[in-house]
Amino acid sequence: MKKRNFVNLNINPCKMCMPMGAAIALRGIENSMMMLHGSQGCNAYLRTHLTTHFSEPMDIASSSLHENATIHGGGGNLKKGLKNLIQLYRPTFIGVATTCLAETIGEDVVRIVKEFKAENDIGQVSVIATNTPGYGGTLYEGYFRTLRDVARHVARETPRHERINVVMAHVSPGDVRNIKAMLRAFGLDAVVFPDISATFDAPFSREFHRIPKGGTPHADIAAMAGARATLEIGATIPDQISPGKYLEDQFGVPLSRCPIPIGLANCDAFMRALARLAGRPVPTEFHEDRGRLLDGMIDMHKVSGEIRALVYGDPDLVSAVASLCAENGIAPAVLSTGAESPLFRALMRELLKESYEASIVLDDTDFETIEHHALRSGVNLAIGNSAGKQLTEKHGIPPVRIGFPINDRYGGQRLVYTGYAGSLKLLDDVVNARLAKKFGMHRVVMRERYHRPDDASGRDRAGDGPIAAGGPIADPVRAS
């Protein structure tokens, strides 16, 4: 039997299911809708997390499988649902994603979609099917597998052109905007795939659009086959689910990858990649941002060195944040992801081999196991999404929110932690979370430790000023 990284059973898995990744990827395509082939509960789960994280309405159609369809097959439901979806929303693109139930009963969605197209005149609407059983992987695999399937169905043999493809890691809409600005600064004409910068974080408008404006245009995806290069952002993307690898194998578009630009080393690598693709030096503004990051790293090093961090989330994001930690003297004590990823393990071992050999690296894991290792490793700060809140609340570990889902704070969709300036902001947030924890109760603790009620001077021994009359301060809440 396969060895998995659980202390006991899989308790509170450190992941979201594959269709969630499909939903995020599809939202980054212009005028597209998702049809989830499964029960309505799956839709509720996806929409709850997506709306609370992005603070945007999120419509996902459902084939609404019930007992009958589960036994006799859900093809009829799916076809009826697709017809309704086209009539109501008028999308130009539909991604049909499967669920645990659809896969378990052996639904052949590719065949059903083919039949649907043959039986109905759907004009210019593209409908593609992707297999995303919830139990088959995580949000991470669902995201990239969907992108690969979209590229597979939409990209067409095109004469070579000067544009490049940029396959976006699963980062916040704020980070997508930031990376697009960096591409512009280098003068690069790029197809950003997918582009959730506006669809998941739209400006206020009095007009309601059933499908939000924005996303990668269909024609741009079709032309990705003729691009002069593809840059994939993400250091642990397996070839089997990589859209860039598909474009390289099928159409000869050269592929290069770089980590999410978080941290000095990763940002340098990203700048080198953009400079090479643009054929020009790094613009001055980035040199200045880099200098500010270095300055901040020096300013904060005394506090950084006290931090023992737990980092969890998607493998690409965890590996990028781990790099920022390591280069700042923040011990990456526990690095964990719910995805099964040999690439992540290898990359982390390489990163940690110099100074942090004792760090724990876990893939395919759950929060019970993470908690076990975090406590044994003396973790004093956690960097990750809201799914770790039980752990951090229970043990009083200060959290810094990054990734998805963030549904116990506002602004997850606006976070910008990429680039030199974004990395500095992340470092500020990490160090300040440590300081807030360390000094939040500092005076109270000092008074409790050093105050002697019979001290004739009327001052406590920590020199903090006059003490309250009436003996030692027992209640830290009142005392503050």
Q: Given the rule CB under 6 A, which residues bind ligand SF4?
A: 17, 19, 38, 42, 45, 99-100, 134
Which class for 342: exposed (0-12), middle (13-18), buried (19 or more C-beta within 10 A)? exposed
- H-helix or E-strand spanning residue 93: strand 93-98
Give CA–CA dist 400/171, Å, rounded: 16
Cβ neighbours around 382 below 10 Å, total? 23
Residue with tokens 């006991």: 8
Query: Which residue's CB is nearer to ligand SF4, number 43 or number 328?
Result: 43
Q: How far is the CB of 42 from ligand SF4 (least distance, A)?
A: 3
- Report how far apart, in Å, the C-alpha atoms of 220 and of each of 193, 389, 415, 478 are: 9, 40, 27, 62
Confirm if 200 and 54 have CB atoms less than 8 A apart. yes
Query: Which residue's CB is nearer to ligand SF4, number 31 or number 43?
Result: 43
Q: How far is the CB of 97 from ligand SF4 (least distance, A)?
A: 9
HEC-encoded secondary structure of 172-195: CHHHHHHHHHHHHHCCCCEEEECC
Q: How far is the CB of 37 from ligand SF4 (least distance, A)?
A: 10
Query: Which residue's CB is nearer to ligand SF4, number 53 or number 451?
Result: 53
Helix 18-27 crosses helix 139-154 at what angle (to 10 degrees)?
Answer: 50
- What's the length of the chain? 480
305-335 burial: b if 16+ Cβ within 10 Å, else e = eebbbbbbbbbbbbbbbbbbbbbbbbbbbbb
Q: How far is the CB of 100 from ligand SF4 (least distance, A)?
A: 3
Q: Where are the alpha helices (DSSP H) in 305-384?
A: 315-327, 342-352, 367-376
Q: Which tokens go with 84?
A: 């309704």
Q: How far is the CB of 390 from ligand SF4 (least distance, A)?
A: 19
Query: Which residue's CB is nearer to ligand SF4, number 38 or number 403?
Result: 38
Residue with tokens 């697009």: 180
Query: Which residue's CB is nearer to ligand SF4, number 195 or number 314?
Result: 314
Q: How far is the CB of 147 from ligand SF4 (least distance, A)?
A: 18
Number of alpha carbons in the 13 Å side-chain half-sphere of residue 179: 35
Dihedral sign, CA of 400, 401, 403, 404? Answer: positive
Q: How far is the CB of 171 from ligand SF4 (least distance, A)?
A: 22
Q: How far is the CB of 19 from ligand SF4 (least distance, A)?
A: 5
Residue with tokens 């739209």: 202
Give CA–CA dist 91/84, Å, rounded: 11
Between the CA atoms of 100, 103, 148 and 13, what dihedral angle is there, to the nearest 10 degrees?
Answer: 20
Q: How far is the CB of 310 from ligand SF4 (least distance, A)?
A: 25
Q: How far is the CB of 45 from ligand SF4 (least distance, A)?
A: 4
Closest-by-Cβ residue to ligand SF4 is 134
Q: Which residues pair with 192 in a beta bridge?
A: 166
Confirm if 148 and 246 have CB atoms less than 8 A apart. yes
Query: Which residue's CB is nearer to ligand SF4, number 99 or number 126?
Result: 99
Query: Which residue's CB is nearer to ligand SF4, number 39 or number 336?
Result: 39
Q: How far is the CB of 17 from ligand SF4 (least distance, A)?
A: 3
Q: How far is the CB of 274 from ligand SF4 (least distance, A)?
A: 36
Query: Which residue's CB is nearer to ligand SF4, number 45 or number 89?
Result: 45
Q: Which amino acid is at 450?
A: Y
Query: Which residue's CB is nearer to ligand SF4, number 38 or number 212?
Result: 38
Confirm if 356 and 332 have CB atoms less than 8 A apart. yes
Query: Which residue's CB is nearer to ligand SF4, number 91 or number 134?
Result: 134
Q: Which residues pair with 280 in a beta bridge?
A: none
Give CA–CA dist 153/21, Å, rounded: 18
Residues 6+ apart with CB under 8 A from 293: 264, 267, 420, 421, 423, 424, 427
Query: Which residue's CB is nearer to ligand SF4, number 38 or number 215?
Result: 38
Query: Which residue's CB is nearer to ligand SF4, number 25 or number 154?
Result: 25
